Amino acid sequence: MMFRHSSNHRSVTTAPWQLVCGLALGIASGLAGCGTGPKAEFSYREATQKLIPVARKAIKDTLEDGFGTPHNLVAWERFPVAYGGAKASVVAAAEGVQPASKTISVSVEGDVSKLASGASVLWLTGTRAGEKAAADTVDTYDTKTKTLTWSGSAEPAPGVGDVLIVGFGHALQKGRAVYMKNCMHCHGVSGDGNGSTAQFLNPRPRDYRLGVFKFTSTLSAEKVSRDDLHRVVKYGIPGTYMPSFLLLGEEETKSVVEYVRWLAMRGEFEKRTDDDLGDFTEDSIVDTVKKSKTAFDAAKVAYDATLKAGDKDAVKPDAPIKLTDARKIATEAFAKFQASDLDQAVEDTASFLAEAWTRADDEASRIAPTVPRVADDAASRERGRLLYMSDKTKCYTCHGLLGKGNGAATEDFWKKPGTEELYPRRGLHDAWGNPLQPRNLTLGQYRGGRRPVDVFRRLYAGIKGTPMPGFGKTALKDEEIWDIVNFVMSLQYQSPQPAKTNAGGHVVATDMPEAK
């Protein structure tokens, strides 16, 4: 396996990071257990496949330049991924040696242990940077004098301030090894949620390619944080087939979290770029031809009518555009777009995603209650029950009057987002189009975590990628959210009675016994 580094999607440098084996990489060392397995390939979104050939090729080339393949990973520095390795900068040629020697004094950022003999050396800046097949490795590193000697050519000599990375890509490579052994069979090589066992699972494994994760500690508009993914990997998701990997070592857990984030960034980058190229799809071309034919038919009717009325000056409408001509026009238009605007569109998308994923780990993006949990007593639970039943939250419409996940919303036919088309089956659906059953709160099983603060966060920001809304900041005060938390978490211990409604059908009360 090769590992490449890219400072941007057009400038790719190959680092000398070699792994002997492909798919069968052991967790303990990340390198053991070599064997021959099926060829792993990244899949492409359906929207990518529907682009006209020149646009489809451009997207695939851009994805490979920026992210590589499963056997030839690319680290695009723009994205906030802990790829691994120690960064260093040249302070000076080491004292007492010739300028052309392969010994330099360096200032190291990160794990100094990465500067071990044989570790890859990737030059990021200076006269040694930019080579496609750099072959430098660490020969020796003296921790006391901070001098590094590399094996490889001595010329050109690095200059003061030149930046290099030692052991670059180690964390992402390890994450890939862990992922391919433990996660790929459900989540797929590309993180598309379509692994070999996915068809047998309900709910379906997560498709990372939207860049959306349901259970987070972050605000509704923010991405998932590293801590959120770390907790899911360690403890799993109750009520699903996502198991706990608590027995994984901390290094393996951190590395697979980075790899999952990297897959999500790749997938979302592809989706957003596809969206930008919506005018260059086969469907768009066919639609253009149909509209042209419809316009021609209408114009022809009007033209025939004017002729019949004796108007000899009527202008005959132009023939509708042919499919072959429409494809040619679209191909030429894309060529102009590619020459003038595609690079900037790619850069803008990359910058947007990098900022969003970086912001997810900021403390300001984290949901933190402004007040401590309200005392979990009968009064609080009653306030929470009234809020649950109120038109202010309408929790009962999905979760049911008794909290069993059988509200009226589960019986309706809902429209697909952004369309007038209905889902083929009743009930709620998530952003991936999968049927979605509201949580049965009487079971006491919470997929996002059963700590009170976890339930608070679900109510505050909703559940990303689902119809579950957030009530924080606007609809409810934090104290009110805590009241609903206390009520909801009490349902597993009670046997609530049916709700009473007034003549207008609004819930007015229940015969629920007082909480002890």
Per residue in 11-31, pLDDT tens?
333 332 322 222 223 323 333
Give the model confidence (pLDDT) of 267-324 as tens digits.
Answer: 999 999 999 999 999 999 999 999 999 999 999 999 888 888 888 788 888 999 999 9
Is the confidence at residue 410, as pLDDT, over 50?
yes
- Listed residue (208, 209, 221) closest to 462, CA to CA: 221
Q: Specify whether the backbone of 376 is left (phi greater than 0), alpha (psi in -120 to 50) or beta.
A: beta
Q: Omega of the bond prior to 156 within 30 degrees of 0, cis?
A: yes
101 with 372: CB under 8 angstroms?
A: no
Residue 135 pLDDT: 62
Residue 98 has pLDDT above 90, yes or no: no
pLDDT of residue 35: 45
- Domain layout of the chain by residue ranges: 2-80+172-276, 86-167, 280-359, 378-510
CA 193 to chain centre: 12
Identity at 343, one-letter amino acid code = D
Higher pLDDT, residue 77 or 399: 399
The pair of three-digit structure tokens given for residue 328, joined into one six-digit string: 């040619």
Task: Tell me: pLDDT of 180 over 50.
Answer: yes
Return d(Cα 360, Cα 226) in angstroms, integer: 8
Phi, psi of 13, deg, nearest 5: -115, 135
**Rounded mean pLDDT of 70-87?**
88
User: pLDDT (tens digit, 9 = 90+) per residue, 423-454?
Assistant: 999 999 999 999 999 999 999 999 999 999 99
8 Å CB contact between 460 and 471: yes
pLDDT at residue 261, as a whole number: 98
**Res 77: pLDDT:** 81
Q: Reply yes or no on whether the pLDDT at 154 is more than 90.
A: no
DSSP for 429-470 reads: E-TTS-EEPPP-GGGT--TT-SSHHHHHHHHHH--TTSS---
pLDDT of residue 22: 27
CATH superfamily of domain region 378-510: Cytochrome c-like domain (1.10.760.10)
H or E stretch at 64: helix 53-67
Q: What is the pTM of this model?
A: 0.83
User: How confident is the model at residue 94, as a pLDDT?
Assistant: 66
